[in-house]
Structures are given as C-alpha cells and as structure tokens.
Structure 1
Amino acid sequence: MSHPGHGHGHSHNLSEIPAVLSPFARWFVIITLAVIGVGVVAGAVVLWPSDSDHPIPMQFRSADGGSIQTVDAHVVDQKRAQCLNPLAGTVQDDAEFQIEGAAADGPCIETTVQIDGGDDQGRHTLLEIPTNRAQSGSEPGAVAPPADQLDQPQAGQPTLAVGDKVRLSVVPGPDGNTRYTFFDFHRTVPTIIWALLFVGAVVLVAAWRGLRSIIGLAFAFLVLGVFTLPAILDGESPVAVAVVSSAAILFVVLYLAHGISLRTSSALLGTLMSLVLAGVLSWLAIETMHLTGLSGDQTTNLQVYQGSISISGLLLAGFIIGTLGVLNDVTITQASAAFELAAAGEPTRLATFRAAMRVGRDHIASTVYTLVFAYAGSALPLLLLFSVAQQPFGSLITTDAVAVELARSFVGGIAIALSVPLTTVIAAALTRPAGSVDPRSAPEAAPPARSTDPRETPASTSSASTPQRTVRPTSPRVTPSPAPPPQSSPPSTGRHARPDD
C-alpha cells in the first residue's frame, strides 16, 4: 500500500517549483553595491563643503552691497498717466497719489500698491509701468508694435491688475528715504496649493509607495542644496560632486520608493552603470563638439562671479544629473518586467531576458521622444529667435546654445538605449524562472496512481519504493485504494512565488 501522506509534496507540476537564485549573481550584486556605497560615503566626506561664506553676486546685491531686501504687497488701484512721475517709489499714508497728466491714453500705468510687511507696513507706494505706447516711434528705425498691443506693458515689465499680490524690493532713495520697486509676483500660496495637488495625486494613485517617492524627491533636493551646490562653489570638481550626489540620491530614492529587494538592487546597479556610461558619453560629446556652455547668461554671470569654477566641468555635471530621472524610470521598469515575467512562467533566464527586452524596446521608443521633446520645450524661446534669424539651418543648428541641447538629447538617448540591456541582464540573472530547478531541491518521483482495473498487469501497478499486491485477474472484486488524507497546505494558486518576496 502506498503511504497516505507521502504524495502530498509531489502533487505539483515541476514547472511550479521556482529555482533558487544564482548564488554568484546574487552576491555579485550585493557586494558591488556595498563597495559603491562605501565609495559614495568616502567621496562625500572628501568633497564635503566648508562653512565659509561666499560673496553675493552683483545681480543679487542691493544698493548698499548687501542682499536684496523684499516685502510683500498688493495692488489696490491703477491709472493711466504721463511717465516720469516723481512720486514713483515713494511712500505715503494715503492711497491717493497726486498724479499729474492723468489721461485714459497715457503712456504709463501708475499702479498704487499697499505694503504688507516691513517698516512701512500699511502704507502705500506708487509703481510706474511704461507701455508700448511710450516707446512707439521713440527710436529711429524701430518697428512700431501692433495697435492692439500699444497699451500692453513693455517687454520685461510686469502685467499687474488690482488685487495682485507682489513683492517689492527695498532700495535707498537719493534723498536717503526708502523707496520701493517691483521685484516679483508673490507666489507662495499658489505654489503650496500646486505642491499639495501634486503630492495628493501621487499618493492617491500610488499609496504608500507614492508617499515614499515624494520623501525621496525631498531628499534629492536636500542633497543638491546642502552638498552639491556648496561643494561646487568651494572649488571642488563639478564632475566628482555630480557623480557622488547622483549615486547618493539613487541609493536612497530607489530603496525608499521601491523597497529593499533584489529587484530594486538590480535596477540600482543598472542605473549606476548607465550613469557612469552617460558621464563618459557626455565627456566625449563635450570634447568632440567643442561645447563651451557660455551661450547662457547664467553661465557667463557665474564665470564672472567665480572664475575658478570649471565651466566645461559644470556643463558635464549638468549632463550627468540631467540623466538621473530618465535612467531611473527605464531601469526600474526593466527590472520589474524581468521579475514579473519570470514569476509568470518564463522557463529560463534567457527566455526572461528576451521577453523583458521586448518590453524594453517599446520603452526606449517612447522615452526617447520624451527626452528630446523635454529639451526642445525648454529651448523653445531660443528656437523661435533662431527661426527668424535668416541664417542657414546648418549654421543655427550647430551654434553652442542649440548644440548643447542636442548633445543632451544624444547622450541621454544613448544612455537610455544601453541601460535597457544592462539592467535586463542583471535582473534576469537574479530571477527564478519556472523551468530552472535546483537539483538539490528537486522532489522525489511520485509513485503512480494505483489502478483499479483488474486487467492491469502487476508490472504497471508496482512501485519501486513500495511493493504492491498483485491483483488476481480472475477475481471480480478489487479492494479500492484508500482516499488520500486532506492536504495540510493551501492549494496552489497557479502563480509562482515572487523572486523578491
């Protein structure tokens, strides 16, 4: 007779038994990430910025040489009048300024603003905003604006309306009294509202994982503000600082958002390898295309402010940091695809790799569009100016400003394309394909079910492990085999265990 409980563990198909992880691949990933983590910590210690103060750039200084002081305010009234009003910027208690030359078609907009902070809180000042009517025909050869734009503020001037909340800069006047000028719009409340909507949408859809990703994003900005920017201002290599910052961000963000598992580790290692590759490609692009980065006003101002900063190194660091988000997106998708395909029944790691690569090819096609159009959108004002420059297309497309954006797109696209097979290989090596069974954990062969057919031969009903009684062919009665006891373990769901659970 067969043993009642012996066949319990062998009732499943062999394809349902996941293979153990490859020890070499698992330990290779763990040890490699540990070494990189130690290197990142050591690099952060070596490159950590000092607490020394830096001088304020000229464009951010006030008239007395200190930082620009601002106060909150809001618009309470507007009138049209002649320009060059001597009361502009002065402070008075009453909101009614004596405006000379007031006229409905005046070339300037006299805006009365109530101050909401600082020493003059509750008092009022006057902002004078010239319109296009003020400059129409004032310069020889100048193109007059269209009639419907004559009453619009001049280029670089704000468009204000009653009720707008603004920020005013505090400047000393020629008579020693405080004067005020427009500095910027007050965006605190709208910014907080949009930030809350952003966080709410992410958390609503992605639940706790979305909240963890928001925390990781906050950590990334903390690294940039506390370590990356001060270290570069201290004169450290922008490339070294960018590499250490990027690696530190990736370690925290990936594990925080996706949990500590081999799935996340494979994506992290693939991202780090792709990041190094992107750095090499960025350096080659900058060298071969002779990119300077001096076409941007911010870069020129920075070079004037602190000439010790390597502009080419800063450009390269920008390339490296700029690839973080898109590489993270691609690699975590590829790692998840490989593990899910293996759990769904791919028989071998090679089959898992091939299936995940089919997913990756579609991802590459869509992500390259995203990358290129994101750079094109940021350079849209520049492209509009070039479109009317009346220069050959070949000359415009190779100018430094456009070439920098093209190089970003090229480097990012190549890094994305190569990150897919890199990450997929690592993830596939760590998966548990359904057909890969460790011989040491393979189950014993289950004894065949005992037949109740009286014509069955003794050889076909005997078991190698348990002798069976021969059924006499002449006997019309056959004792049936006892029913197997109920299984103690839950039935199989038909789904393989997740490799990273």
Structure 2
Amino acid sequence: MTSPQSDPAPHPPQGHTHTHSHGPAAPVSRHLRKVIAAVLIPFATAVVVGLIAFWPGGVPDHERTGVGFDRQTQDGKVVQVVKVDCADVNAAQVPPTGDTSTPSGREAVNEQEGECAKATIEVTSGDDKGRRFVEVVQPDAPRQLKEGQGVVVAYAPDAPRDLQYSVTDVNRKVPMALLAGIFALVVVLVGRMRGVMALVALAVSFAVLTLFILPAILQGSNPLVVAVIGSSAIMLAALYMCHGVTARTSVAVIGTLISLLLIGLLGSLFIGWASLSGNTDDNTGLIKGLYPDIDMSGLLLAGVIIGSLGVLDDVTVTQTSAVWELHQADPEMGWKGLYRAGIRIGRDHIASVVNTLVLAYAGAALPLLLLFSIAQSSVGTVANSELVAEEIVRTLVGSIGLVASVPVTTGLAALVVSADRAGSGGAQAATAAPARTGRGRRRKTG
C-alpha cells in the first residue's frame, strides 16, 4: 500500500514578491472616490451653469467696414495671365522721380519700367458668380498669380463697379484639408481608440471656442470669466474623453484647475501692473473699433489662459500617470517616496516644456523681433515695447503655471494613491497569490 503523495514544499520567494501591473490603474477606494467627486461635481456643475448663463446665442451683427478681415469675400479663379509693360497699365500710379537711393524710389522705378502681370479673375461663388475683373500684379509683388489658381476675392459694394472686386489671398482649402486629413490619419493609426477620442475632444474644444468663447466676448461678456468657463469646459471634456472617467484623470483635472487659477491671478496682476492695453496691432485695433465695449486687456488675459491650457493638460496627465505607475511598481512606497520619484520625472518634463513654450512664442513673434534687430534696438528697449512685453508676460506667466503644475499634481497624485496603499496592497497580494488545492493544482476561480 502506497502512502499518499504529499504536497511539495513551497519554494521560498526569490526577488520581489509583488507583481507589476501594466494595464489600467487599480481603482481607488470608495471613500476617496467620494472625496474626489465632492470636489469635481460642484466644479463641473458651476461650469455647466456658467455655460448656460453666458451662452451668447450667436455673433452680434455689425455694419461691415471693408477693412482687413471685416470684408465680404468670395471664391475666384485666375482664368488668364498676360505679361504687359507696367507703364502701359500705370501700375506705379505716380511718375517715378528717378531717385533709386530709397526703397520707395526703387519700387516706383520698377513699377514703371518693369513687366507686370495682367490677370483676369472669374468669381466662382456668390451672387456674382461668373463675373470677371482684371487685377494687375506688379513685378516685385510677394504673390504672383498663375492661370488656373484659386484665389479669394474681396467685394466692396460701395465702390465703382470696375473696382468692386480685388484679389486678397490665395485659396488654400485643398492643401489645408489634405494636411488635416493626414494629421487625423496619423493620430488614429498611432493612437487607435485613444487617437479617435483625442480627435473628438479636439472637435469639442473647437466647438466651445467658436460657439461660446468668441461670440460671448463679442457680446460684451467679461473675457476673463468667459475664458475660465470655456477653458474649464474644454479641460473636462478633453481629459475625460481621452483618458477615461477615473481617479487618475480626476487628479489631473484638479491639478490643471489649480494651475489655471494661478495663471489667471498672475496674468491679471502683471497685465495690470505693466499697463498692457492688449490693443497693439491692426487686428486688435479693428476689434476695438467694431466692438468698443470689449475689454482688450481682459482679452489678452483670456488668451494667456487658453494658450496655456493645452500644455497644462499634457504636464498634469503625464505626472499623474507617472505617480500611478510608480505605485503599481512598488505598492509599499509611501507618499514621500512617490512624490520624490514623481518630481524627478517632472523636472525633466519642466525643462522641455518651458523651452517649447518660449520657442513657440518666439517663433510667432519672429518678424517683429527681426524689425527690432534691423533697428539695432537694445534688449531693454525691445522688452519694454508693448508688443514684446505682451509676449514676455504671456510666456512667463504660462511657464510659471506649467512649472507649478508639476509639484501640485505630483503631490495630489501621491496623496491619493498612498492613501489607498493598504487596501490596494492587500488586493494586489490576493491577486498575485492564486489559491491552490491540496494536490498542488490551481483552484478555478469564478
């Protein structure tokens, strides 16, 4: 008679005993979910109430001035281009003096003596579809017209009939649409479902911007209040759509909100202290002329907040995810350990993000900086001019908010996951150690 086979002795554990989970983060306790909800539900409710209270219902009407972007435009097409002598079409408008020592003198001589392009343009949209007019393009014009090229034409109803239409720009709809399609395809191919949700969130952001923020400001609402409400709506929609309704995302939302509040306070303080009017170029001057009640300095502050939101989302989500992954890798790590490890990751992120933000603003203002360089102005003179001071305030205030978001979000995430350390650790231990039967076989679990 043989004795029953005994179970083999268990092997002592080697190395670390916990398992690394690379899937979705384990949910936090019900108590912490209630705490997070107690913060976010009133905030989300306030955002919805703000959207309803400030909803504009459309852009207010105004009498068109025919200046800048405030013009009626139609599509057109270049049907013929003929080279002619500039003198024959009086392209210079004024007789040249013969003095070529100045830019205006050289330009006048070229216009009078050079070869111009006489383009015939056909209107392809609107009530005057099929109507043709002639546009003379000077030889030194930055944009030369070609046969078959699509153009944008401006319509001035009060001008003489021969001068009612003029070419204002090239029609770029096809290349822009193609580029947008390539962008969407790349996002979906790489991001898959996350990419699809990111595109949906992008569409929601664009809708909030065009249907709420811009019309509400034109209606005379406070630009700062409108920007805060609109940015909050964009933040909630984008983060929860892209990353799911989880405690991790909620922590990122709270971190983003705190950083936005800091940006708003600093921006308001320094825009007022530096006496920045927000009315520094032709476009802002046109807006002020059409809608005198708009607070242009408030509009500047609104731009600072909205411009910082996209980068803030990136920083807060990255920091929250980093802390969550650190916790999953070592569930026994406490709050201080999680914070120290997370902040080390954040420091690398800070350096790259701040540099990105500064270079983005510098790139946008490059023509202006070139003008100052040509004038050989000192750094102090350049920085003191309102045009550059606006960009400096915009950049530095946004950067301060970005830098502050790293410790704020890291600390919040570390507090949340460490508060659940005991419960989560027990759950993970139970998951990591499968139950076994008396004969060494793994028991089936339901």
Tell me whether 1:288 sits opposite 2:273 in the alignment.
yes
Aligned counterpart for 1:47 among listed residues 50, 54, 66: 54
Q: Which residue of 1 aligns with 2:396?
A: 410
Which of 128, 132, 155 is matched with 2:136 structurally?
128
8 A Cα contact 1:270 1:331, kept in partner = yes
The code of the aligned residue for 1:79 comes to: K
Deviation at 1:175, TM superposition (A): 5.8
CA contact (8 A) 1:271 1:419 kept: yes
CA distance in 2, matches of 1:172, 1:244: 39
Matches within 5 A, 1:373-412: 373-412=359-398
Query: CA contact under 8 A between 2:84 and 2:116: conserved in structure 1?
Result: yes
Cα drift, residue 484 of structure 1 = 2.9
Per the alignment, residue 145 of structure 2 pairs with 160
Take 1:108 and 1:173, find their aligned partners in 2: how far apart are those partners?
A: 28
- 1:229 counterpart = 2:214: yes
Q: Return the offset for 1:122.
A: 4.9
Query: 2:170 corresponds to which residue?
Result: 185
**Could you tell me which of 400, 411, 422 is aligned with 2:408?**
422
User: How far apart, in 2, do the equivalents of 1:200 and 1:176 lie?
Assistant: 46
RMSD: 3.6
Distance 2:27 2:120 in 1: 75
> Which letter does structure 1 place at the counterpart of 2:201?
G
| Kept after mapping to 1: 8 A contact 2:324/2:417 | yes
Structure 1 residues 177 and 295: CA distance shift in structure 2, 3 A: closer
What is the deviation of 1:169? 2.5
Equivalent residue number for residue 243 of structure 2: 258
Aligned residues of 1:346 and 1:435 also touching (Cα < 8 A)? yes
Structure 1 segments unaligned to the other structure (5+ residues): 88-102, 132-151, 445-481, 491-501
Q: TM-score under structure 1 normalisation?
A: 0.73
- Judged with a 3 Å threshold, the aligned counterparts in structure 2 of structure 1 residues 127 and 178 are, in CA distance, closer, same or farther, namely closer
Amino acid at match of 1:402: V
- Higher mean C-alpha deviation, range 344-353 or range 220-229: 344-353
1:463-474 aligned at under 5 Å gives the runs none
Residue in structure 2 matched with residue 208 of structure 1 by the alignment: 193
Q: Return the index of the structure with the highest Cα Rg.
A: 1
In structure 1, the partner of 2:354 is 368
> What's the CA shift for 1:435?
6.6
Relative to total residues, which structure has the larger helix share, 1 or 2?
Answer: 2
Q: Check whether the contact 1:235–1:309 (CA below 8 A) recurs between aligned residues.
A: yes
Give the structure 2 partner of residue 76 of structure 1. 80
- The answer to whether 1:486 aligns with 2:413 is no
> Which segments of 5 or more consecutive residues in structure 2 lack a partner in the other structure?
1-5, 92-110, 431-436
| Cα distance in 1 for residues equivalent to 2:358 and 2:257 | 22
TM-score normalised by length of structure 2: 0.81
Q: 1:337: which partner in 2?
A: 322
Q: Which residue of 1 aligns with 2:101?
A: none
SS in 2 for 1:385: helix
> Alpha-carbon deviation of 1:240?
0.5
2: distance between equivalents of 1:126 and 1:120? 15
Correspondent of 1:199 among 161, 181, 184 = 184
Residue 71 and residue 29 in structure 1: after superposition, are their counterparts in 2 closer, same or farther (change >3 A)? Answer: same
User: Do the aligned partners of residues 317 and 232 (structure 1) sit closer, same or farther apart at CA in structure 2, a change above 3 Å counting?
Assistant: same
3-state SS, counterpart of residue 120 of structure 2: strand
Task: Report the residue type matching 2:441 in the other structure.
Answer: P
Q: How far 1:483 moved relative to its partner?
A: 6.1
Cα gap change, 1:104 to 1:369, in 2 (>3 Å): same
Q: Distance in 1 between matches of 2:88 and 2:176?
A: 35
Q: What is the aligned partner in structure 2 of residue 318 from structure 1?
A: 303
The answer (yes or no) to whether the contact 1:347–1:434 under 8 Å persists in 2 is: no
Give the distance between the partners of 2:160 and 2:426, measured in 1 at CA.
92
Tell me which residue corresponds to 2:97.
none
Q: CA deviation at 1:327?
A: 0.3
Change in Cα spacing, 1:252 to 1:84, as seen in structure 2 (3 Å) is farther
Distance 1:384 1:17, change over 3 A: closer
Q: Which of 21, 28, 32 is 1:21 aligned to? A: 28
Q: Residues 83 and 247 (structure 1 numbering): CA distance in 2 closer, same or farther, change over 3 Å?
A: farther
CA distance in 2, matches of 1:439, 1:104: 84
User: 1:125: Cα distance to partner?
Assistant: 2.9
Find the residue that maps to 2:117 and give its secondary structure. Answer: strand
Q: Which residue is equivalent to 1:169?
A: 154
**Letter paired with 2:44:** G
3-state secondary structure, aligned to 1:323: helix
**Secondary structure in 2 matching 1:58:** coil
Amino acid of the residue matched to residue 426 of structure 1?
L
Q: Which amino acid aligns with 2:411?
A: V
Q: Is 12-21 or 121-130 further displaced after alignment?
A: 12-21
Query: How many matched pairs?
Result: 409
- Between the aligned residues of both structures, percent identity stands at 36
Pair 75,380 (structure 1): closer, same or farther in 2 beyond 3 Å: farther
Aligned partners of 1:443, 1:261: CA distance in 2, in Å?
22
Distance 1:201 1:353, change over 3 A: same
Note the alpha carbon deviations across 1:49-91, whole angstroms, 9 max, x for none. Answer: 14573204524599xxx9514232134323132257399xxxx
For 2:298, the aligned partner's letter is: G
Contact kept, 8 Å, 2:83 with 2:118, in 1: the verdict is yes
